[in-house]
Amino acid sequence: MKNILFLPIAMFAFGMDAYVVAGIIPEISTSFQITDAQTAQMVTAFTLCYALSAPILATLLAGFPTKKALVLSMLMFIAANLVTIFSTHLTMLLASRALAGIGAGIFSPLAAASAASLVPAEKKGRALGLLLGGMSTGTVVGVPAGLALATWLGW
């Protein structure tokens, strides 16, 4: 199980990233001088692109080396989040959140397939449970973590 430890940690990051901004929507709205509804589209952009890209891009990347696809999708996710940090207007913010969602959407099904193939048959359920547990925990932790970080560091 040690050989798949990176995968649930990454899934935790994706779950957290999906909702970390939800708790600080008012601060972001004020900063960008836009409405809360416009700002909340960041969550929608991420989750919609995540949901749509996962099955489509996993299918398209079926012949691509898995390890390379996992690394590239994680780099895309990280780069998109860096763009989010330095976004200066709503369009840039939404595009960066969408790209982060696409990176997560590419990673997730490949991570599940990798986890299942890297462990013995009797541990496949546990490996997939770790992945989903990482994602679920990240989702639950995301909003309060965003609020705590924003309180401590500012948005």
In whole angstroms, give the CA distance from residue 17 to residue 100.
Answer: 9
Position 93 in a domain: yes
| CB within 8 Å of 46: residues ≥ 6 apart | 17, 18, 97, 98, 100, 101, 104
| Among 46, 108, 31, residue whose Cα is nearest residue 80 | 46
In whole angstroms, give the CA distance from residue 29 to residue 41.
Answer: 11
In whole angstroms, give the CA distance from residue 49 to residue 20.
Answer: 17
The predicted pLDDT at position 70 comes to 93
The predicted pLDDT at position 51 comes to 94
**What range defines the domain where residue 131 resides?**
2-149
CATH of residue 19: 1.20.1250.20
The predicted pLDDT at position 1 comes to 58
Position 115 in a domain: yes
The predicted pLDDT at position 2 comes to 67
Position 155 in a domain: no
Q: Which amino acid is at 110?
A: L
Position 95 in a domain: yes
Position 154 in a domain: no
Position 118 in a domain: yes
Query: Are 52 and 100 spatial neighbours (Cβ–Cβ below 8 Å)?
Result: no
Number of domains, the chain = 1
Position 17 in a domain: yes
List the pLDDT tens digit at each of the 155 positions of the chain. Answer: 567 888 999 999 998 888 888 888 888 899 899 999 999 999 999 999 999 998 998 888 888 998 999 999 999 999 999 999 899 999 999 999 999 999 999 999 999 989 988 889 899 999 999 999 999 998 888 888 888 887 887 77
In whole angstroms, give the CA distance from residue 12 to residue 26.
Answer: 25
Q: What is the pTM of this model?
A: 0.89
